[in-house]
Amino acid sequence: MTSHSPQASPRTWLVTGASRGLGAGIVRAALDAGDRVVATARRRETLAEALGPDGENLLTLALDVTRPEQVQAAVDAALGRFGGIDVLVNNAGYGHLSVFEESTPEDVQAQFDTNVFGLMQVTRAVLPSMRARRTGRIFNISSVGGIVGGESGTLYCTSKFAVEGFSESLAGEVRRFGIHVTVVEPGFFRTDFLEPTSVRHGASAIADYAAVSADLKAFYDARSRNQAGDPLRFGKALVTLADAPTPPVRWSAGTDALGMVQAKITSLQAELDAWRELSASTDGDFEFRPEAATATAWR
């Protein structure tokens, strides 16, 4: 069992989307490590079904991350019960998997309301208490689809690319307060992510896309419940990251994610090299300073 030092005080975790899949695995791993958990989901009764009744170390709360008043109420309840939030896990989310033209503007809004804006709302509500205490860990659950796009991922991957950019930028802003942000990129895990209860597909069928849409849906249907990733092992890995003195800004979970991220790195390097001369040709007539061309030189 992964655990932190027995001399350390129990940490308090706030986990969204905790009633199933990766969220439930994270809650169980944190409780096994001797920590306290505030587990949230849209319907509180689903938490009792998945995790059992509330206890000394477990508080379950109803939380729809798309409703700001529920977000603040959940954070206030967590602070009132345990005095602080040491680890925030923004896990709530779902996948809309369809080709872009078969999705609607309402599909786009709904995907971002949960995966991006909801995540931001929870983070905004938790940060003041972490900043006041000068300590905290934030895990934003993205996806390997947050760094590698693909057909049928125009909505889902776009939302997760946004989570990646938000997390990387936020990490630089709050590191000075002892708060570490890690964006987590899972591959395929044995959850109900691809089940009809979770995944959504476009309803505006277009004949030109009929074959590819059918093939993509068949691929995902066949993969559901056959994924290699284990949610409980994922949760234990997050406990290990929470123990790390200097956790990574990005962390990929699963051998499939490792392979896909490595392939993306290789592809980016090859493309950069192939077009390097044309890229360099766009500079104006001024003295180039290499130190200015870094990711921290936005200001």
Is 156 in the active site? yes
Cα(112)–Cα(119) distance, rounded to whole angstroms?
A: 9
Burial grade of 242 (CB within 10 A; 0-12, 13-18, 19 or more): buried
CA 34, 37, 41, 46 torsion-angle sign: positive
Is 217 in the active site? no
* Active-site residue (options: 19, 103, 159, 160): 160
Cα(283)–Cα(104) distance, rounded to whole angstroms?
A: 40
Cα(121)–Cα(109) distance, rounded to whole angstroms?
A: 15
Cα(188)–Cα(224) distance, rounded to whole angstroms?
A: 9
Q: 177: how many CB neighbours lie within 10 A of its CB? A: 15
Dig out the tokens for 219 from the structure: 């691929």
Max intra-chain CA distance, the chain: 68
Q: How far does CA 73 lie from the centroid of its chain?
A: 22
User: Of 12, 187, 10, which Cα lies nearest the Cα of 89?
Assistant: 12
Dig out the tokens for 253 from the structure: 């979970």
Cα(114)–Cα(111) distance, rounded to whole angstroms?
A: 6
* Active-site residue (options: 152, 156, 159, 167): 156
- C-beta of residue 101 within 8 angstroms of C-beta of residue 209: yes
- C-beta of residue 107 within 8 angstroms of C-beta of residue 32: no
Beta bridge partners of residue 12, listed in sequence order: 36
Is 5 in the active site? no
* Active-site residue (options: 103, 142, 159, 252): 142
- C-beta of residue 62 within 8 angstroms of C-beta of residue 44: yes
Known catalytic residues? 142, 156, 160
